[in-house]
Amino acid sequence: MKDYRKATIKEYISDLSAKKNTPGGGSASALSAALGASLGAMVCEFTIGKKKYADVEDRIKQMLKEFISIRDKFVELMQKDVDVFHNEMGKAYSLPKETESQKKHRHQTIQQACKSCCQPPLDITRECMKALKLLLELAEKGSAMLISDVGVANEIICGAFEGAKLNVEINLKYIEDHKFVSDVQEEIFPAAAEITSLSDQITRIVRDKLNGK
Protein backbone atom coordinates (compact mmCIF):
# COMPACT_ATOMS: atom_id res chain seq x y z
CA MET A 1 0.00 0.00 0.00
CA LYS A 2 1.47 3.32 -1.09
CA ASP A 3 2.17 6.14 1.33
CA TYR A 4 0.92 9.14 -0.61
CA ARG A 5 2.44 11.52 1.93
CA LYS A 6 5.78 10.60 0.39
CA ALA A 7 4.60 10.33 -3.23
CA THR A 8 4.81 13.02 -5.87
CA ILE A 9 1.74 14.94 -6.97
CA LYS A 10 2.10 13.26 -10.36
CA GLU A 11 1.99 9.80 -8.74
CA TYR A 12 -1.04 10.72 -6.68
CA ILE A 13 -3.13 12.10 -9.52
CA SER A 14 -2.11 9.18 -11.73
CA ASP A 15 -3.42 6.71 -9.15
CA LEU A 16 -6.50 8.86 -8.57
CA SER A 17 -7.22 8.68 -12.29
CA ALA A 18 -6.74 4.92 -12.47
CA LYS A 19 -9.11 2.00 -12.01
CA LYS A 20 -8.09 1.56 -8.38
CA ASN A 21 -10.06 1.49 -5.16
CA THR A 22 -7.81 4.13 -3.65
CA PRO A 23 -7.19 6.99 -3.54
CA GLY A 24 -10.76 8.16 -3.93
CA GLY A 25 -13.02 11.09 -3.15
CA GLY A 26 -12.33 11.26 0.57
CA SER A 27 -8.57 11.34 0.11
CA ALA A 28 -8.88 13.86 -2.73
CA SER A 29 -11.02 16.09 -0.52
CA ALA A 30 -8.33 16.07 2.15
CA LEU A 31 -5.62 16.93 -0.36
CA SER A 32 -7.72 19.77 -1.75
CA ALA A 33 -8.32 21.11 1.73
CA ALA A 34 -4.59 20.96 2.44
CA LEU A 35 -4.06 23.26 -0.54
CA GLY A 36 -6.64 25.67 0.86
CA ALA A 37 -5.00 25.71 4.28
CA SER A 38 -1.63 26.24 2.61
CA LEU A 39 -2.97 29.34 0.88
CA GLY A 40 -4.14 30.64 4.25
CA ALA A 41 -0.64 30.11 5.62
CA MET A 42 0.87 31.92 2.64
CA VAL A 43 -1.33 34.97 3.23
CA CYS A 44 -0.19 35.01 6.85
CA GLU A 45 3.46 34.84 5.78
CA PHE A 46 3.05 37.84 3.48
CA THR A 47 1.19 39.81 6.16
CA ILE A 48 3.80 39.30 8.87
CA GLY A 49 6.45 42.03 8.91
CA LYS A 50 4.34 44.65 7.15
CA LYS A 51 4.03 47.94 9.06
CA LYS A 52 0.44 48.35 7.93
CA TYR A 53 -0.51 45.19 9.84
CA ALA A 54 1.75 45.59 12.86
CA ASP A 55 -1.19 45.82 15.25
CA VAL A 56 -2.41 42.34 14.25
CA GLU A 57 0.98 40.72 13.70
CA ASP A 58 0.95 38.63 16.86
CA ARG A 59 -2.44 37.21 15.98
CA ILE A 60 -1.39 36.57 12.38
CA LYS A 61 1.66 34.65 13.63
CA GLN A 62 -0.62 32.47 15.73
CA MET A 63 -2.94 31.97 12.79
CA LEU A 64 0.01 30.88 10.68
CA LYS A 65 0.77 28.11 13.18
CA GLU A 66 -2.87 27.07 13.17
CA PHE A 67 -3.08 26.94 9.39
CA ILE A 68 0.07 24.81 9.22
CA SER A 69 -1.30 22.46 11.88
CA ILE A 70 -4.58 22.09 9.99
CA ARG A 71 -2.71 21.60 6.71
CA ASP A 72 -0.67 18.79 8.22
CA LYS A 73 -3.82 17.19 9.62
CA PHE A 74 -5.38 17.23 6.15
CA VAL A 75 -2.29 15.48 4.76
CA GLU A 76 -2.60 12.77 7.41
CA LEU A 77 -6.30 12.37 6.63
CA MET A 78 -5.50 12.08 2.91
CA GLN A 79 -3.50 8.96 3.77
CA LYS A 80 -5.82 7.72 6.52
CA ASP A 81 -8.75 7.61 4.10
CA VAL A 82 -6.69 5.29 1.89
CA ASP A 83 -5.46 3.17 4.79
CA VAL A 84 -8.88 2.61 6.34
CA PHE A 85 -10.37 1.46 3.05
CA HIS A 86 -7.52 -0.99 2.44
CA ASN A 87 -7.29 -2.28 6.00
CA GLU A 88 -10.98 -2.65 6.70
CA MET A 89 -13.30 -2.37 3.71
CA GLY A 90 -11.09 -4.23 1.28
CA LYS A 91 -10.53 -7.08 3.73
CA ALA A 92 -14.20 -7.21 4.72
CA TYR A 93 -15.38 -7.72 1.15
CA SER A 94 -12.75 -10.41 0.58
CA LEU A 95 -14.09 -12.58 3.42
CA PRO A 96 -15.67 -15.90 2.44
CA LYS A 97 -19.45 -16.16 2.16
CA GLU A 98 -20.09 -19.84 1.54
CA THR A 99 -21.82 -20.74 4.78
CA GLU A 100 -24.45 -18.89 6.81
CA SER A 101 -21.91 -18.34 9.57
CA GLN A 102 -19.42 -16.87 7.11
CA LYS A 103 -22.09 -14.64 5.59
CA LYS A 104 -23.07 -13.32 9.01
CA HIS A 105 -19.45 -12.63 9.96
CA ARG A 106 -18.79 -10.95 6.62
CA HIS A 107 -21.89 -8.78 6.95
CA GLN A 108 -20.93 -7.67 10.48
CA THR A 109 -17.38 -6.92 9.35
CA ILE A 110 -18.62 -4.83 6.42
CA GLN A 111 -20.89 -2.91 8.79
CA GLN A 112 -17.94 -2.08 11.03
CA ALA A 113 -15.82 -1.16 8.00
CA CYS A 114 -18.50 1.29 6.84
CA LYS A 115 -18.38 2.97 10.25
CA SER A 116 -14.60 3.14 10.12
CA CYS A 117 -14.68 4.58 6.61
CA CYS A 118 -16.92 7.39 7.87
CA GLN A 119 -14.25 8.61 10.26
CA PRO A 120 -11.60 10.13 7.94
CA PRO A 121 -14.08 12.20 5.88
CA LEU A 122 -15.92 13.21 9.05
CA ASP A 123 -12.62 14.43 10.48
CA ILE A 124 -11.99 16.29 7.22
CA THR A 125 -15.27 18.19 7.66
CA ARG A 126 -14.25 19.15 11.18
CA GLU A 127 -10.89 20.47 10.05
CA CYS A 128 -12.57 22.36 7.21
CA MET A 129 -14.71 24.11 9.80
CA LYS A 130 -11.61 25.18 11.73
CA ALA A 131 -9.94 26.37 8.53
CA LEU A 132 -12.91 28.46 7.40
CA LYS A 133 -13.21 30.16 10.79
CA LEU A 134 -9.57 31.12 10.50
CA LEU A 135 -10.06 32.29 6.93
CA LEU A 136 -12.89 34.57 7.99
CA GLU A 137 -10.59 36.26 10.48
CA LEU A 138 -7.77 36.35 7.93
CA ALA A 139 -10.03 37.98 5.36
CA GLU A 140 -10.58 40.82 7.82
CA LYS A 141 -7.02 41.13 9.18
CA GLY A 142 -4.65 39.82 6.51
CA SER A 143 -2.92 41.67 3.71
CA ALA A 144 -5.41 43.13 1.26
CA MET A 145 -2.88 42.47 -1.49
CA LEU A 146 -3.59 38.75 -1.16
CA ILE A 147 -7.34 38.89 -0.62
CA SER A 148 -7.93 36.90 -3.81
CA ASP A 149 -5.91 34.04 -2.30
CA VAL A 150 -8.20 34.08 0.72
CA GLY A 151 -11.10 33.82 -1.70
CA VAL A 152 -9.53 30.88 -3.50
CA ALA A 153 -8.82 29.13 -0.19
CA ASN A 154 -12.45 29.67 0.78
CA GLU A 155 -13.72 28.04 -2.42
CA ILE A 156 -11.31 25.11 -2.14
CA ILE A 157 -12.09 24.36 1.49
CA CYS A 158 -15.84 24.62 0.93
CA GLY A 159 -15.54 22.17 -1.94
CA ALA A 160 -13.45 19.86 0.23
CA PHE A 161 -16.08 19.98 2.96
CA GLU A 162 -18.81 19.02 0.51
CA GLY A 163 -16.66 16.26 -0.94
CA ALA A 164 -15.93 14.81 2.49
CA LYS A 165 -19.59 15.11 3.46
CA LEU A 166 -20.58 13.07 0.41
CA ASN A 167 -18.13 10.38 1.45
CA VAL A 168 -19.68 10.28 4.91
CA GLU A 169 -23.16 10.03 3.43
CA ILE A 170 -22.34 7.17 1.05
CA ASN A 171 -21.11 5.10 3.99
CA LEU A 172 -24.08 6.02 6.17
CA LYS A 173 -26.34 4.68 3.43
CA TYR A 174 -25.18 1.12 4.16
CA ILE A 175 -24.98 1.28 7.96
CA GLU A 176 -27.78 -0.44 9.84
CA ASP A 177 -26.92 1.04 13.25
CA HIS A 178 -29.58 3.77 13.34
CA LYS A 179 -28.11 5.53 16.38
CA PHE A 180 -24.71 5.78 14.72
CA VAL A 181 -26.28 7.18 11.57
CA SER A 182 -28.42 9.65 13.52
CA ASP A 183 -25.47 10.88 15.61
CA VAL A 184 -23.36 11.55 12.52
CA GLN A 185 -26.22 13.27 10.68
CA GLU A 186 -26.91 15.49 13.67
CA GLU A 187 -23.34 16.71 13.45
CA ILE A 188 -22.74 16.98 9.74
CA PHE A 189 -25.94 18.63 8.48
CA PRO A 190 -25.82 21.60 10.89
CA ALA A 191 -22.10 21.87 10.10
CA ALA A 192 -22.94 22.19 6.41
CA ALA A 193 -25.22 25.13 7.16
CA GLU A 194 -22.51 26.81 9.23
CA ILE A 195 -19.95 26.24 6.48
CA THR A 196 -22.25 27.99 4.00
CA SER A 197 -22.69 30.93 6.35
CA LEU A 198 -18.94 31.27 6.96
CA SER A 199 -18.18 31.00 3.26
CA ASP A 200 -20.75 33.68 2.39
CA GLN A 201 -19.21 36.03 4.94
CA ILE A 202 -15.72 35.44 3.56
CA THR A 203 -16.93 35.98 0.00
CA ARG A 204 -18.53 39.31 0.94
CA ILE A 205 -15.31 40.55 2.55
CA VAL A 206 -13.23 39.36 -0.41
CA ARG A 207 -15.55 41.06 -2.91
CA ASP A 208 -15.64 44.29 -0.91
CA LYS A 209 -11.85 44.45 -0.74
CA LEU A 210 -11.48 43.58 -4.42
CA ASN A 211 -13.84 46.48 -5.16
CA GLY A 212 -11.86 48.84 -2.92
CA LYS A 213 -14.43 49.11 -0.15
Q: Any idea what the CATH number is for the domain that residue 184 is in?
A: 1.20.120.680
Residue 11 maps to a domain = no
What are the tens digits of pLDDT across the range 128-140? 999 999 999 999 9
Residue 205 maps to a domain = yes
Could you give the percent of the chain with pLDDT greater than 90?
Answer: 98
Instruction: Taking residues 115-126, report their average pLDDT.
Output: 97
* Cα 111 from Cα 51, distance rounded (Å): 57
Evaluate whether 113 touches 52 at the Cβ level (below 8 Å). no
* Cα 136 from Cα 129, distance rounded (Å): 11
pTM of the model: 0.95
Residue 152 maps to a domain = yes
| Nearest Cα residue to 30 out of 100, 119, 143 | 119
Determine the pLDDT at residue 1.
Answer: 76
Determine the pLDDT at residue 212.
Answer: 84
Domain that holds residue 57: 23-210
- Across the chain, what does the average pLDDT equal? 96
What are the tens digits of pLDDT across the range 157-182? 999 999 999 999 999 999 999 999 99
Residue 6 maps to a domain = no
For 174-189, b/e burial (b = at least 16 CB within 10 A) is: ebeeeeebeebeeebe
Total domains present in the chain: 1
List the single range of 6-15, 88-97, 112-121 with lowest mean pLDDT: 88-97
Residue 86 maps to a domain = yes
Residue 30 maps to a domain = yes
Residue 130 maps to a domain = yes
Q: Is the pLDDT of residue 203 over 90?
A: yes
Q: Is the pLDDT of residue 90 over 90?
A: no
Determine the pLDDT at residue 119.
Answer: 97
Instruction: Taking residues 116-127, report their average pLDDT.
Output: 98
Q: Is the pLDDT of residue 213 over 90?
A: no
Residue 8 maps to a domain = no
